Amino acid sequence: MARAGRPPQDPARHAERAHRILDAAAELILRWGYDKTTVDDVARRAGVAKGTIYLHWKTRDELFAALLRRERVLMLDRVREAAPATLGELFGSLASALLHRPLLHAVLLDDSEVLGKLTRLKRQRPSIGGLELGGPFDAYLRELVKLGAVREEPAEQVMVIGSIFYGFMFLPGARPESERLPDDRVAELLAETVERAVGTGRALPPADAAAVARATLDLLDALADVARRKLATSMSPAKERVQ
Amino acid sequence: MARAGRPPQDPARHAERAHRILDAAAELILRWGYDKTTVDDVARRAGVAKGTIYLHWKTRDELFAALLRRERVLMLDRVREAAPATLGELFGSLASALLHRPLLHAVLLDDSEVLGKLTRLKRQRPSIGGLELGGPFDAYLRELVKLGAVREEPAEQVMVIGSIFYGFMFLPGARPESERLPDDRVAELLAETVERAVGTGRALPPADAAAVARATLDLLDALADVARRKLATSMSPAKERVQ
DNA sequence: ACGTGACCATATAAGCTCATCTGGTCAAAC
DNA sequence: GTTTGACCAGATGAGCTTATATGGTCACGT
């Protein structure tokens, strides 16, 4: 109640505060799990009043959605920075980035420890690991097939890649600490495995290799673009949104 | 461990009844889950009195253990019959057999729908998918490395294989029915993927290829032998057992 | 205009009771 | 000698009550 001052309508400050709230939420959810993290906790940790949170999001769930969307954008940005030039590198970078974002990792694995009662509900969603399996990724794969970087039958290759990716993301958590490989090594092995599993094995002519690298970055840009647009929806003030 | 008391009047009939009870248990557990399946249900379905079940096993849990051990033996027998001759074929056969044994599949995936409150408890166990990752399988892998069938760093390859296997066993269950491949095709793709992921790619001289096939069958024999011995322990009358 | 925190209706958790169920036993019946 | 099912103590679950916590709102102060 002691807080004075009426900051003018400063969008930058407003956005900064939203991010501060999301930071608080991320930290608390990771520590206590979604069920045990209250809006009041988040507000306190972010140094705002509870009501302020509802100036940004209509419900607690929307706050969480915004958080996940931001995680996604951050992850994709990191992948994009790594500038993967092949399918294997793409998934290696994805893995590496995902392992640095425990919330997304928890969503992928449907970890009830973290997600609480949200666990089963998310199952409905068709997306796996942040990649829509029909859609831009599918087009990307077909492109690589054309370029001779990936074998035929893209529909099956999608399943193969998905399985490998999921297995690599899951298994380390199921093994005793002592036998666990460092995250970076896991990512490297994943990259290698994907390449061997669905690659053609032939070396590509430089022009085609460049085309693959280009297609990969284009895909990431497209995914990041969608992700950023969704995030923007989640970050605009609650009142402005219709639904 | 001399036999206390007298052997049953007709051992064959006795064993047949034990299997009938396990059949009943398997069916009910798959239908209702472990938690909702009572000893009385099993007895009724098997056409015996409840007390009879306790002539075979000391506790409900031991009945379940026997069931799983039988499943394991049956699965390994099936794999052995397929006579896999390479590492890839070994895992293809394992996958195919596992997909035909829903109980083992549930154990691998830690499916709480089926296992109920047993879910988290089994987590402790070091075994994944019925293969002890240190032990006979490890020796087998090293042998294949020596024969030039598998790349170096067997410790990492174990992790790679495990991840791939788990991913392939898990993913189909997470996808919509419409996009799901037939079990046989999944097994084939898994075989191919494992081979590409950890194989050397070179064709082996016939003598070495034969050695690989031999080692594979030897491994299966060894695993089946252990499994059968454990099963035997679980199938001997409850009173004869010490622990 | 903006932000706040007291406020409210509802949700959740804890504690308790009571009836039913279930794993396991055993004296009696084959 | 083998099998059975009535039987028992403890587990489980439904139902209810009470106390606390929580998501979300809003009149008010700045």
Q: What is the spatial distance between Cα B102 and Cα B184, in angstroms, rounded to a whole number? A: 15
Q: A57 with A238: CB under 8 angstroms?
A: yes
| Token pair 């899951």 in the structure block, residue | A170
* Contact positions of strand C to protein Cβ (< 7 A): 1-6, 13, 21-27
Q: B165 with B129: CB under 8 angstroms?
A: yes
* A196 lies within 8 A of chain B by CB: yes
Both tokens of B131, joined, read 């293969």
Q: A190: which chain B residues are within 8 Å (Cβ-Cβ)?
A: 163
pLDDT at A148: 95
pLDDT at A167: 97
Among A139-148, B33-42, B72-81, B227-236, the minimum mean pLDDT is found in B227-236
Q: Nearest CB to B160: which of A156, A166, A193?
A: A193
pLDDT at A79: 97
The whole-number average pLDDT for the span A72-85 is 97
pLDDT at B9: 57
Among A124-133, A149-158, B59-68, B217-226, the minimum mean pLDDT is found in A124-133
pLDDT at A32: 93
> pTM of the predicted model, to two decimals?
0.92
pLDDT tens readout for residues B111-148:
989 998 888 766 655 555 555 666 899 999 999 999 99
Both tokens of B90, joined, read 């070994």
pLDDT at A118: 84
CA of B44: nearest nucleotide by C1' is D5
Mean of the per-residue pLDDT values of chain A: 88
pLDDT at A208: 96
Q: What is the spatial distance between Cα B158 and Cα A103, in angstroms, rounded to a whole number? A: 27
* pLDDT of residue A8 exceeding 60: no
The whole-number average pLDDT for the span B172-198 is 94
* pLDDT of residue A243 exceeding 90: no
DSSP per residue over chain B, as a string? -PPPSPPPS-HHHHHHHHHHHHHHHHHHHHHH-TTT--HHHHHHHHTS-HHHHHHH-SSHHHHHHHHHHHHHHHHHHHHHHH---SHHHHHHHHHHHHHT-HHHHHHHHT-HHHHGGGHHHHTT---BTTB-TTTHHHHHHHHHHHTTSB-S-HHHHHHHHHHHHHHHHHHHHHS-GGGPPPHHHHHHHHHHHHHHHHB--SPPPHHHHHHHHHHHHHHHHHHHHHHHHHHHHHHS-GGG---
pLDDT tens readout for residues A16-73:
899 999 999 999 999 999 999 999 999 999 999 998 999 899 999 999 999 999 999 9
A159·B171 Cβ contact <8 A: yes
Q: Please report the residues numbered 74 through 103 in chain A whose beta carbons come closer than 8 angstroms to any beta carbon of chain B.
A: none
